[in-house]
Amino acid sequence: MTSFYSAPAGGAADTGAPGTVRPLRMRLAAALLLAVAASCRPDESEVCPPAVNISLDEAPELRWVPLLRVFDIHFLKEAAAEVIDSTVPKWVHEAVAPVVMALEKYIPQPYAGEIRGMASHFGGSLSDIIILNFAYEISAFCTSVVAQDKNGHIYHGRNLDYPHPVLRNLTIDVSFLRNGEVAYRGTSFAGYVGLWTGQSPNKFTVSGNERWWNWWKNVVSAFLLRRSPVSWLVRETLQEAENFEDAVMRLSKTPIITGVYYIVGGVQVGEGAVITRDRTGPADIWPLDPVNGRWFRVETNFDHWLPPPVRDHRREAANKALNATGQENINLETLFQVLSLYPVCNRITVYTTTMSAAAADKYSSLVRPQGCSAHA
């Protein structure tokens, strides 16, 4: 499958496929020029994802048309099929049949319109687009960090890990525009209407990490009961919440389809928290406590008050690296270094994001074409 992110610096790899790679290269270059206040400075081991502007002033059915300026339709179909075939149990295809038959009954606007528009413009079936969005709701392994420096500045970083290399080719930076201005932005995957990572400028930042459950049965049953997917709640919160406290309240109390960890960073001293979610409400809220020396929080995919599995050393490695960095030296660059250490970054890491809502123009996501290894 054609890869956007495996080329040496300065150009895309030419596979020799006629009429495919060169147009994709041109579209990718054009999309990168659409970045709004992007801060993406990769070295040889990372690549900037293409940037896409989505106008919230457009009808939902038309919003995601700009993806066609970035991706080849045939590539999107092949990639979506790969994700679905390797992720979604066969019985789920039958379970979503009622959703397809009565889309607006189960999926609220604007998501129903956006999903319907994707199916129309990308030439896929409505069922496949719905199932693809289900597949993307499994965020697999993740690491998120929220930290405060000595001057009270809040920094937020995350690695999103997923055992499907094709997602590195589907990663996009999305700026959601209202009246031509950035209302919020995030990093996502082509074909997905939700967000696992995002920033509301000068208000707050959010990342989501999966919390392990009996996933598919729980999710499908809860979805049919019209509860919100966890990534839709992130997007709604970015769009509607007025500040950090409002975001924490919404992310804590809104019913969702499965458990999750929401990590939130604000713009004021002490505005950082890890929210451990059950379906119906918070199991725990773990705030920053810089007055007592607890100036950072690390969340992976396990409840912070319990030890992680013996095989998983991400929490331990991140805690050790942050303590070695020190509160006086933490910033977006040193946070990125922490997130680049193995096994915090590992062979299935898809992308790394660093962000600070008070410095909205510094938002940066970088794709990890090869992930990270212990011998790098």
**Could you give the residue numbers annotated as active site?**
142
Alpha-carbon span 96 to 94, nearest angstrom: 6
Number of other residues whose CB lies within 10 A of the CB of residue 302: 18
DSSP 156-206: EEEEEE-S-GGGGGTEEEEEEEETTEEEEEEEEETT----SEEEETTTEEE
Detail the DSSP E strand segments found in the chain: 51-55, 142-148, 154-161, 171-178, 181-189, 197-200, 204-210, 260-265, 272-277, 282-287, 296-299, 349-355, 364-367
Q: What CA–CA distance (Å, rounded) separates 175 from 221?
A: 32
User: How open is the CA angle 138-243-361, to the nearest 5 degrees?
Assistant: 75
Helix, coil or strand: residue 365: strand
Structure tokens at 353: 């994001």
Please give the DSSP secondary-structure letter assigned to residue 48: P
